[in-house]
Structure 1
């Protein structure tokens, strides 16, 4: 059973006049019925997962911030254009009003989604939390819980978090190494992170998600360049 159907059952298959199936049908039209390169996780599945986890983070402080809602809407507009984004946001408006079990949803996502796709979800959630210019404790707590249920380890979590929170050792955290690492270890870590965050790992989700995946890839490159500059490598 696809992720969309399972999660649809968890949160209700019909919300505010827009169903999960409606979103999947629009995905087929959007792609012109192209053959799916990944039969286990389709773009629509990933999209629905984004919406549900976004609602959990946005509600983590007991209120809904318009800036965070605007971030979600703009994210989908950038990916799919206004028409499909409006349909996605209609579904999202219904999801936000529901009480959702973080653990139950994440268990389903974890079962069907690759590690690279789960890392992309985490990157998106930090983007939402940072939409108002700061990542607050309650938001980070919600994201950390999601990461735990998605089997994202502490090193991956700290790496993506460092892409949004600028600290003295952020560049090293992005590469998942201590500042005391040798130049050779820095180069090795960089090569490892390039492989982990390469946009090609999101190829099954469609071109639009590959483009968003490049953001992580670019931050890894920027972190490596900063370390080289500091060390004179």
Structure 2
């Protein structure tokens, strides 16, 4: 498997190919992978962060028992954006070694919990869902692994569910609990996901809808990651826009002003 992966890696050329979440997390890594970065008054080591991210990626890739070409493409795209060609090659070789071993994922997450901000951890969860969904199918074991990683990193259940449903807006349920990209989502399904993105039930009052949106808009506002650079801010604006879209859909469906 790894020999085949090496052949594929050597054959791949080109840019990001539309990996939007790869771009997002790439900006996080690009900002964090400087010689040293002060986070919560502690020195953040770029090599340790790369190692942690590769271990988490490996855990999600192995969750469903298959290492798929689409996942390799997705991972390579974001590494290229974050690290550049030479370091990407080193990181992919390191990933091959990581894939052969078992790691204490909970311990890795505990380190990220103390060494990174909640805003950065939320983007990591987004990246992992993008990786899992690279083949157009969210396997139940992949979802379970990301849920555990999210919990171990200290991400609130509501935040995890909100991010998950950002990906499920264009998927349909499958036997066994997985979700496959369907290419079509009914208005009812889309609206149901919008409520989940805002972390509220469909019987919430108009005031509760407004309150939920204001709270999430504050939490996910691009200014929260402005210190990571203008490109990171632009990426965060995409996430913020999805929250706003969910709110607008609900507001229009209810006839709210």
Give the TM-score category using the shorter length. 0.7 to 0.9
CA distance in 1, matches of 2:63, 2:153: 18
Structure 2 equivalent of residue 141 of structure 1: 144
* Cα distance change, pair 196–147 in 1 and its aligned pair in 2 (3 A): same
Structure 1 equivalent of residue 111 of structure 2: 108
CA distance in 1, matches of 2:81, 2:141: 27
2:217 pairs with 1:194: yes
Structure 2 equivalent of residue 57 of structure 1: 60
2:250 pairs with 1:223: no
2:207 pairs with 1:184: yes
CA distance in 2, matches of 1:153, 1:231: 28
RMSD (Å), alpha carbons = 2.7
1:1-233 aligned within 5 A: 36=37, 38=39, 40=42, 42=44, 44=46, 46-166=49-169, 167-168=189-190, 169-233=192-256
| Structure 2 SS opposite 1:59 | helix
CA distance in 1, matches of 2:158, 2:43: 25
Question: How far did residue 46 of structure 1 move?
Answer: 4.6
Q: How many residues align?
A: 204
| Structure 2 SS opposite 1:179 | coil
Range with bigger deviation, 108-117 or 131-140: 108-117
Range with bigger deviation, 113-122 or 125-134: 113-122
Question: How far did residue 152 of structure 1 move?
Answer: 1.8
User: What's the TM-score, normalizing by structure 2?
Assistant: 0.69
| Structure 2 SS opposite 1:138 | helix
User: What's the TM-score, normalizing by structure 1?
Assistant: 0.75
CA distance in 2, matches of 1:137, 1:127: 14
Question: How far did residue 205 of structure 1 move?
Answer: 4.4
The answer to whether the 8 Å contact 1:159/1:173 transfers is yes
CA distance in 1, matches of 2:43, 2:214: 27
Q: When you count strand as a share of all residues, which structure comes out higher?
A: 2
Structure 2 residues not aligned, in runs of 5+ = 1-29, 170-188
CA distance in 2, matches of 1:199, 1:46: 22
* Cα distance change, pair 152–55 in 1 and its aligned pair in 2 (3 A): same
Higher relative contact order (Cα pairs below 8 Å, separated by 6+ residues): 1
